[in-house]
């Protein structure tokens, strides 16, 4: 080894000892005990970060200016008055990692502690030792406060470490919707058990949903019915492992600290590429995600909160076992079977499906139906045997010259004699790859000779409150509201028995989430124009504002 390299190695050991002495003298921490056994690079780095955070707590407002790091390294390079300072300057040029300095620190404690206590005490006040000690302390602070080793990385890495140790959990998840006006509504509280790829949920309304990796089912205690569902169509919300994985892979920024369900939490904004930012709260004690808030989309924002959460328990095996009660009716909707290849899926389904550039992770098939599973997104293709029937709560877009059903994380349309249904996180990107004609927000067509309908806003507000309380849910369906309006035009004295116009004779021809148009096949009314006047989201009721006569 060259003499120059030996000098540098000695200098690294000395700087390492100064960091250890700083920790020992200032924080009642004795690193010599840690050197009695071998540590991995990760544990050494975590040790240094822990010490640095303790220093940081003693001066939260001591965050350096952006120019501070540049000035510090410049000053270190100019320290040339003593041999020790020259060595520190050399070390400052090789600052790739603290771990590299740690690797070469064997034996340093023995050499330092051979000196008597009087010498150690006197040299503490000499400038040649004070400078390296100060530099060592500053290096520790920079590890935490600088952009390349800040608390943002530590918080998310701590979450990754906690999630990696997570074997199972049990908690209660609350789901709340908030509209653009700031009005919030608790949608549901769900008890959750999760272990590996298995989970089970139970609601107060008597619904139990279980996926044990092989079978997925919903048990309805009120109807005494068990419905078997495809394993792949799983909308398990706010999965701890999945949210931690996304937080690690996406850009993120710390926004502050807040109390969540009685726990101190760090608020982090996640910025998915090509998507809208959303917010994640991490428990400062357990380092696990405990709250997630989606971006405001179409005047609606959803917040998921674990109001209680226990981890690494012994979960009863019967929680995930498929043992339907003998007096329950079983409905099997899981006709799709796992296949080995796309060619096998084509043979079983008899379809010539649309294909994406990305290869699916799993493929399921049955007669006239093919399912491509991309983990976070599902593409279902089935033979189009009748016109597309839209969900009454969906917005209406356009694709391939026809209707496009738009729901949260769901798009559905018809193309090449196939019904295409995308569900999951990447529905928009996949849909744009499958068709260039996608239009999520078509304009409501301009009305012809429209007859205005007077609106009493007090009545509308009362109707909205009734729906919020669980009454008259039909007002959330624009076709149902239009049918009631047309029926009253035919029978102004009221509706007795069946309505004079059939629901199936109505067609939703436009719906942008705020305004909608319904066409009637027969009767005195040709078109009905509706609006969401109180709340422009899926919880808002529809009100008739005008119509066209036939």
Please report the DSSP string for 120-169 in residue order: HHHHTTSHHHHHHHHHHHHHHHHHHHSTTS-HHHHHHHHHHHHHHT--EE
Cα(495)–Cα(479) distance, integer angstroms: 17
pLDDT band at 50 (very low <50, low <70, confident <90, very high): low
Question: What pLDDT, in 10s, does the model give residues 53-79?
Answer: 554 444 444 444 444 444 444 554 444
Q: What are phi and psi of 29, to 5 degrees?
A: -120, 130
Q: How confident is the model at residue 310 (pLDDT cuts 50, 70, 90)?
A: very high
Q: What is the pLDDT of residue 59?
A: 44
The CATH 2.50.20.10 domain(s) of the chain lie at 165-318
356 falls in which pLDDT band (50, 70, 90)?
Answer: very high
Whole-number pLDDT of residue 331:
92
pLDDT beyond 70 at 15: no
pLDDT at 506: 86
Instruction: Specify the higher pLDDT residue, 336 or 191.
Output: 191
Give the Å distances, CA to CA, from 498 to 235, 442, 487, 548. Answer: 37, 34, 10, 24
Q: Is the Cβ–Cβ distance between 132 and 140 less than 8 Å?
A: no
- pLDDT exceeds 50 at position 125: no
- Angle at 530 (CA atoms; ends 529, 534), nearest 5 degrees: 155
For residue 221, pLDDT over 50 is answered with yes
CB–CB of 305/261 below 8 Å?
yes
Mean pLDDT on 115-136: 41
User: Which pairing describes strands 337-339 and 329-332: parallel, antiparallel, or unpaired?
Assistant: unpaired
* pLDDT interval class at 496 (50, 70, 90): low
CA 92 to chain centre: 41
Residue with tokens 């700087």, as numbered in its chain: 15
pLDDT score, position 237 = 63
Rounded to the nearest integer, the mean pLDDT of the chain is: 75
**Residue 154: other Cβ atoms inside 10 A:** 18
For 457-490, give one letter per residue: b (16+ CB within 10 A) or e: eeebeebbeebeeeeeeebbbbbbbbbbbbbebe
The residue ranking higher by pLDDT, 271 or 46, is: 271
Q: How large is the average pLDDT for residues 214-219?
A: 90
15: DSSP letter? H
User: What integer pLDDT is reported at residue 443 of this predicted model?
Assistant: 55
Can you tell me the mean pLDDT for 325-336?
A: 89
pLDDT at 401 over 60: yes
Helix (H), strand (E) at residue 70 = helix 66-77
pLDDT(171) > 70 = yes
What DSSP character marks residue 409?
T
Length of the chain in terms of residues written: 550
State mean pLDDT over 333-356: 91
Mean pLDDT of all residues in 366-390: 89
Residue 193 clears pLDDT 90, i.e. is over it:
yes
Q: Of the candidates 524, 482, 476, which has an alpha carbon nearest to the alpha carbon of residue 503?
A: 482
pLDDT given at position 17: 55
Residue % of the chain over a pLDDT of 70? 68
Per the CATH hierarchy, to which homologous superfamily does domain 165-318 belong?
Lipoprotein localisation LolA/LolB/LppX (2.50.20.10)
Between 182 and 23, the higher pLDDT residue:
182
Tokens representing residue 140 in the block:
């520790």
Query: What mean pLDDT is predicted for residues 360-388?
Result: 90
> Residue 436: its pLDDT value, please?
92
pLDDT band at 445 (very low <50, low <70, confident <90, very high): low
Span 139-150, average pLDDT = 39
Percent above pLDDT 90 for the chain: 28
| pLDDT reading at 168 higher than 80 | yes
The residue-averaged pLDDT of 416-428 equals 91
Band (pLDDT 50/70/90 cuts) for residue 214 is confident
Look at the pTM and tell me if it is higher than 0.75: no
- The answer to whether the CB of 236 falls within 8 A of the CB of 221 is no
Residue 224: per-residue pLDDT: 93
Q: Which residue has the higher pLDDT, 84 or 197?
A: 197
* Burial (Cβ within 10 Å: 0-12, 13-18, ≥19) of residue 115: exposed
Lowest mean pLDDT among 238-242, 374-378, 507-511: 238-242
Position 140 pLDDT exceeds 70: no
Q: What does the alpha-carbon distance between residue 196 and residue 317 come to, in Å, rounded to a whole number?
A: 13
- Mean pLDDT, residues 340-352: 93
CA dihedral 246, 251, 257, 259 (to 10 degrees): -20
């Amino acid at each position: 080894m060259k003499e120059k390299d030996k000098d540098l190695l000695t200098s690294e050991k000395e700087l390492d000892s100064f960091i250890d002495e700083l920790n020992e003298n200032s924080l009642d921490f004795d690193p010599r005990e840690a050197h009695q056994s071998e540590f991995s690079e990760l544990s050494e780095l975590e040790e240094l970060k822990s010490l640095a955070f303790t220093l940081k707590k003693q001066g939260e407002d001591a965050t350096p200016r952006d120019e501070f790091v540049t000035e510090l390294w410049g000053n270190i390079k100019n320290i040339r008055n003593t041999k020790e300072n020259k060595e520190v300057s050399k070390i400052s040029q090789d600052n790739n990692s603290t771990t590299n300095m740690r690797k070469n620190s064997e034996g340093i404690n023995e050499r330092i502690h051979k000196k008597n206590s009087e010498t150690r005490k006197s040299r503490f006040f000499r400038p040649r030792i004070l400078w390296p000690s100060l530099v060592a302390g500053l290096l520790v602070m920079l590890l935490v406060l600088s952009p390349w080793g800040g608390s943002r990385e530590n918080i998310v890495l701590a979450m990754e470490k906690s999630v990696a140790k997570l074997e199972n959990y049990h908690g209660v998840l609350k789901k709340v919707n908030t509209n653009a006006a700031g009005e919030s509504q608790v949608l549901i509280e769900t008890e959750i058990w999760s272990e590996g790829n298995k989970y089970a949920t139970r609601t107060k309304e008597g619904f139990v949903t279980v996926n044990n990796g092989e079978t997925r089912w919903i048990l309805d205690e009120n109807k005494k019915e068990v419905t078997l569902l495809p394993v792949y169509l799983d909308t398990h919300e706010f999965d701890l492992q999945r949210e931690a994985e996304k937080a690690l892979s996406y850009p993120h920024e710390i926004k502050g600290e807040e109390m969540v369900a009685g726990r101190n939490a760090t608020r982090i904004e996640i910025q998915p590429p090509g998507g809208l930012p959303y917010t994640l709260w991490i428990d400062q004690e357990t380092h696990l995600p405990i709250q997630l808030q989606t971006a405001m989309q179409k005047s609606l924002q959803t917040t998921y909160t674990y109001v209680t959460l226990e981890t690494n328990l012994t979960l009863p095996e019967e929680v995930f076992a498929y043992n339907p009660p003998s007096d329950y009716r079983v409905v099997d909707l899981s006709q799709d079977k796992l296949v080995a290849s796309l060619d096998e899926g084509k043979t079983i389904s008899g379809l010539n499906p649309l294909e994406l550039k990305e290869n699916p992770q799993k493929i399921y098939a049955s007669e006239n139906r093919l399912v491509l599973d991309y983990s976070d997104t599902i593409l279902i293709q089935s033979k189009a045997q009748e016109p597309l029937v839209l969900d009454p709560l969906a917005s209406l877009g356009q694709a391939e010259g026809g209707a496009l059903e738009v729901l949260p994380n769901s798009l559905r349309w018809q193309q090449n004699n196939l019904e295409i249904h995308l569900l999951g996180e990447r529905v928009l990107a996949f849909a744009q790859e499958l068709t260039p004609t996608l239009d999520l927000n078509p304009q409501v067509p301009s009305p012809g000779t429209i007859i205005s309908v007077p609106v009493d806003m007090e009545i509308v507000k009362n109707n909205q409150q009734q729906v919020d309380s669980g009454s008259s849910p039909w007002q959330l369906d624009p076709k149902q509201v239009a049918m009631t309006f047309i029926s009253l035009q035919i029978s102004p004295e009221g509706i007795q028995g069946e309505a004079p116009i059939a629901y199936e004779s109505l067609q939703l021809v436009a719906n942008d989430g705020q305004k909608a148009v319904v066409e009637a096949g027969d009767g005195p009314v040709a078109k009905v124009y509706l609006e969401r006047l109180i709340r422009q989201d899926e919880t808002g009721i529809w009100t008739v504002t005008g119509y066209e006569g036939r």
